[in-house]
Each structure stands twice: as structure tokens, then as C-alpha cells.
A and B are shown apart, each in its own frame.
Chain A
Amino acid sequence: MKRNRREQEGLCDLNKHVHAHAESVHEEPSAEDQALIAQLLHGFDQMEQAIRQPEPPPLHELEQLIAGEKRKLRKRAGLEVALFLVIALTLIGGNMLLASINIVVFAAIQGLVFVAMIAFAVRFFYRAKKKVKSGHA
């Protein structure tokens, strides 16, 4: 019985101690803590001032940029087509000349290109089917 009473008294003391510690935790922050918090807040304010809000570029500027890029691309495409036409006329002229000089060589080139093209297509199909079968398509 005495032992039980002693244990109960010990538990009460422990409870009181825990309550006292909890109260001390919920107490007002000390001056040191307050100074630290103030310093932190000041730091945050300075950071906000240093990082300026990014302004979105005006819409008309973006539109002008896009229009300029489009114009550039169109110009480049026109130049490429013109260059291609020059090359095309030269090549066709050369082809016709070759046909008039030596019809056998001309026919051989024609046949060779035809066979090469068909071989390319067949090879492409074969590879593509292989890819599909292996699941890498």
C-alpha cells in the first residue's frame, strides 16, 4: 500500500513538471527571439524589393516579332524555290543534252534511278515493319 502511494505521489510530481514545461513553451517569445524574427522579416522585405516582378512583354511587340519571323521564313522559302528552279533547269537541260548525245547512258541512268528508288522504298518498308514488330515504332 505504502509503495502504491509513493508511486502515485511520484506520478503527480511528474505531471506537474510536464505541465510547467508546457507552459514555459507557450510563453511569450523572449527578446532574443523577437530580434531574430524582426531580422528575418527585414531580410524577406529586402528580398522582395531586390526581386522585381517580371513584366510581360507588350502584345504588339510579340506580334511584330512573329510577323518579322514569318516574313523572314517566307523570304527564305522563296529564295530556296528560286535556287531550286535554277538547278532544275540546269539539270533538265543536262539530261536532254545527254539524251541527245548518248541515249544508252541516258537510259541506263534512268533505269538505275528507278531501281534505286524502288529499292529504297522496299528497304524502308522492310525496316518499318521490323520496327513495328519489335514495338519500337
Chain B
Amino acid sequence: MHRTSPQDLPVWGIVLIACILLAQSLFLFMHSRRHTKYYWIWGIVGLIQSPGPLIAYWLVHIFWPWRKERLKNRDLRNKRDE
């Protein structure tokens, strides 16, 4: 059975993973700094794994507010049309 180990991973792969993690966590930290009060938690969780925290953050703080706003606007439009 072939077993992968970090030694098999080239240096550029490690650097790439580190860059991805850093970019993700920086985005989470900066974005959540403006939108939530738990920005340190988001930033640190973003450093551990990718892309789980990014998906969760997108769902909770980007997609859900956008959906809520859209539904509210639709309701307002329907009320105005009635």
C-alpha cells in the first residue's frame, strides 16, 4: 500500500498550502472584523483547515444576510404591488 507522508510533498506544495491557509485566514480576519465581533476566532480557525471555515463563514455571514435581505425586499415589493 502506498502511504503518503509530508516528506513526499515538495517544498513548493508546503509553501502553497501555507499561502492558501494564510490568505484564507487573513480574508476571514479582515472581513469578519467589519461584520462580527468574533474575528479572532474566525481568523484562527481559518489557519487550521481549508476550505471548511471559508464555506461556513460564507454561509453564515455572507450568504444568509444576503438571502434575508433579498426576501425582505421581495416582501416589501409584494406589499407595494398589492
What is A's interface to B at a CB cutoff of 8 Å? 77, 80-81, 84-85, 87-89, 91-92, 95-96, 99-100, 103, 109-110, 113-114, 116-118, 120-121, 124-125, 128, 137
Is there a chain A Cβ closer than 8 Å to B68's Cβ?
yes
Q: Are A113 and B45 in contact (CB under 8 A)?
A: yes
> How many A-B Cβ pairs are below 8 Å?
73
Q: A99-B6, A103-B6 are in contact. Are A121 and B55 (CB under 8 A)?
A: yes
Total chain B interface residues with beta-carbon distance under 8 A:
29
| Pairs A–B under 8 Å by Cβ, sample size 13 | A81-B29, A88-B21, A95-B48, A96-B6, A103-B4, A113-B45, A113-B49, A113-B53, A117-B45, A117-B49, A117-B55, A121-B59, A124-B60
What is B's interface to A at a CB cutoff of 8 Å? 4-7, 14, 17-18, 21-22, 25-26, 29-30, 33, 40, 43-45, 47-49, 52-53, 55-56, 59-60, 64, 68
Interchain CA distance A109-B45 in the complex, whole Å: 11
Q: Are A92 and B22 in contact (CB under 8 A)?
A: yes
Binding site secondary structure of chain A: helix
The 3 lowest CB-CB distance pairs between A and B, nearest first, are: A114-B52, A117-B52, A117-B56
Which residues of chain A have C-beta atoms less than 8 A from B33's C-beta?
A: 77, 80
Which residues of chain B have C-beta atoms less than 8 A from A124's C-beta?
A: 59-60, 64
Which residues of chain B have C-beta atoms less than 8 A from A91's C-beta?
A: 44, 47-48
